[in-house]
Structure 1
Amino acid sequence: MADQLTPLAEDRALLGRTSTAERVADILRSRIAEGYFPPGTRLSEDNIGGALGVSRNTLREAFRLLTHERLLVHELNRGVFVRVLTVEDVEDIYRVRRLVECAVVRGLGAPPYAVDGLAAAVEEGTAAAREGDWKGVSTANIHFHRALVALAGSDRTDEVMRSVFAELRLAFHVVDDPRRLHEPYLARNRHLLGTLRAGERDQAEQLLATYLDDSREGLVDVYARRVADAV
């Protein structure tokens, strides 16, 4: 038994480092989502490591985690960059969203549904729009859909969609007219919330499917033109 435990004792040092790397990844994920590091930005190990006070190895592990989540990309002999999505990436993100989000609504049991998180996100978006904060409206919209996914009561689904929504925001940051993109969904979020409050699950699923199809079409159109202009 002592011989079997020796490797585990040697692995103890990894626990602290892994935990720190995950915390660093959380910080960077949030900063990327906020647009602090826009798509295409090169992430400097020296600058970020110095600012956070973490080792190069810890930072590289955090980069690896975020690369696995498709938020970063490593380019040989150039470094690590915030990923720039392709149009195909955006379409695939919406394919996943439609599969998961519609399935969550379809799988709801008997009403009433726990929609407090959805209601809070709707009010958050409304308040942000009132201030002309369209980045805030975008954030509130993500919060709305995360709350929708949370209705499934599945930690695994929440984790998968956390990465999908973080990746989606890479596309949002390339769009140059966020108001035009996000404003229509304030009313649609409120409508969807009302439908779920009324316990109308089938209608809510139909509304959501149309909502996501329209969102995909609008974002792909704007994103494709924006990326083409940047080339």
Structure 2
Amino acid sequence: MTAESPVASGADLDLSELAADRALLGRTSTAERVAAILRERIAQGLFRPGVRLSEERIGGALGVSRNTLREAFRLLTHERLLVHRLNRGTFVRVLEAADIVDIYRVRRLVECAAVRGLEEPPFPLEGLRAALREGEESAERGDWAGCATANIHFHQAVAGLAQSVRTDDLMRGVLAELRLAFHVMGDPRRFHEPYLTRNRELLGMLEKGDAAGAERMLGFYLEDSRRQLIEAYAESAVPGV
């Protein structure tokens, strides 16, 4: 099993979906809005680890200036999603095993605490239900990249149970970074399909009002996912592993 090269070419990257995001910027586009769009596209798996990001092509797709785009790149570099290499350009970051360990440390702290902090049922589970439907529909189509995106949305909704804007902002970056790790999995269906079932079970437990049981289940779930990714990294050619 191999991961993408850290110097993979992005020359053939299809940016048609990104061009459609231009309407989200409106007339008052800012670097923060551009960064939000690129972050979401990373979370959707559009930009793979190691791909060089072309300022000209991405700026043209979004209809923004080079200075605005560079500022957005700088913001995402601080979030550890991108890396700038002198005289070579900006690349999507390739994670190391230590990054996976830290990401899951944060996930356990935030997601389990969000479930633990729930008060009396019924709980606000609309976001989890929507993400589960998204995952099930993707699985029915055999779209396992879409299933991975839906899983990211599901866990963003789990963190959202804390009803904290700051937690939501934190987890958007953490989960986008996690999506970069998913690319190391050689068989996406084998990895994601069992977690779709576990998402359904977790939601069912919350619908029954059993927050304590859901928290325990989530703890085992996160540990299993962390272990699988670490094992995949150990078998891959990812630098630093």
Alignment TM-score > 0.5, same fold: yes
CA 1:72 to 1:228, structure 2 compared with 1: closer, same or farther past 3 Å? closer
Query: Does residue 1:29 correspond to 2:39, yes or no?
Result: yes
Structure-2 separation of matches of 1:77 and 1:136 = 35
Query: Does residue 1:166 correspond to 2:176, yes or no?
Result: yes
Contact 2:43 2:152 in 1 (8 A): no
Q: 1:179 aligns with which of 184, 189, 205?
A: 189
Contact 1:38 1:173 in 2 (8 A): yes
Of 161-170 and 35-44, the range deviating more from structure 2: 35-44
Q: 1:188 aligns with which of 173, 198, 210?
A: 198
Q: 2:114 aligns with which of 104, 118, 123?
A: 104
Deviation at 1:48, TM superposition (A): 2.1
Of 84-93 and 113-122, the range deviating more from structure 2: 113-122
Contact 2:96 2:240 in 1 (8 A): no
Q: Tell me, which stretches of 5 or more residues in structure 1 are unaligned?
A: 1-15
Contact 2:44 2:146 in 1 (8 A): no
1:49 alignment counterpart: 59
Structure-1 separation of matches of 2:112 and 2:44 = 26
Deviation at 1:158, TM superposition (A): 0.4
Q: Indicate the percent of aligned positions where both proteins have the same amino acid.
A: 67
Deviation at 1:19, TM superposition (A): 4.6
Q: 2:96 aligns with which of 86, 99, 105?
A: 86
1:213 alignment counterpart: 223
Structure-1 separation of matches of 2:225 and 2:211 = 21
Of 201-210 and 120-129, the range deviating more from structure 2: 120-129
Q: Equivalent residue of 2:157, what SS?
A: helix
Q: Equivalent residue of 2:124, what SS?
A: coil
Deviation at 1:47, TM superposition (A): 2.5
Query: Does residue 1:118 correspond to 2:128, yes or no?
Result: yes
Higher helix share: 1
What TM-score, normalized by structure 1, do the two folds share? 0.87
Structure-1 separation of matches of 2:67 and 2:210 = 51
* 1:57-92: CA deviation from partner (whole Å, max 9, x where unpaired): 111101011111111001122211100000110111
Query: Does residue 1:198 correspond to 2:202, yes or no?
Result: no
What TM-score, normalized by structure 2, do the two folds share? 0.84
Q: Equivalent residue of 2:91, what SS?
A: strand
Of 36-45 and 98-107, the range deviating more from structure 2: 36-45
CA RMSD of aligned residues (A): 2.1
1:129 alignment counterpart: 139
Aligned length: 216
